Amino acid sequence: MRHPVQLFKVLSDETRLSIIMLLREAGELCVCDICAVTAQSQPKISRHMAILREAGLVLDRREGKWVHYRLSPHMPAWAADAIDSAWRCLRDEVRSTLANSRGGSCA
């Protein structure tokens, strides 16, 4: 991520913005939890996660058959600041959405 335009293009998609806000709030989430919270299918979330990974916004790790995602600590400070600013505006909504969907959809 070298330019703000790239960041805003990636986050202009509502699902990707939601994912980034959820990760900002939760720290790390399993793909199954992201699917549950966003009400999107696993293939759709996987496509969004690939875009976020390619942009350098998220990192993933495998645990058995599940993939867990978190925000990348390697993103530029200005990008992290923009994400933090958006999260401060949306945090109540994000927290409510996350709280209402908790229950662990991973099997």
CATH class of 4-93: mainly alpha
Domain segments of the chain: what residues? Answer: 4-93
| Rounded Cα–Cα distance for residues 80 and 75 (Å) | 7
What band does 100 get if pLDDT is binned at 50, 70 and 90? confident
- Has residue 106 got a pLDDT over 90? no
Three-class SS state of 74: coil
For residue 52, which of 77, 22, 91, 78 has the smallest C-alpha distance? 22
What does the pLDDT look like over 55-93, one tens digit per residue?
999 999 999 988 999 999 999 999 999 999 999 999 999
45 vs 99: which has the higher pLDDT: 45
- What is the chain's length? 107
- Has residue 48 got a pLDDT over 70? yes
What does the pLDDT look like over 26-46, one tens digit per residue?
999 999 999 999 999 999 999
| Rounded Cα–Cα distance for residues 26 and 36 (Å) | 14
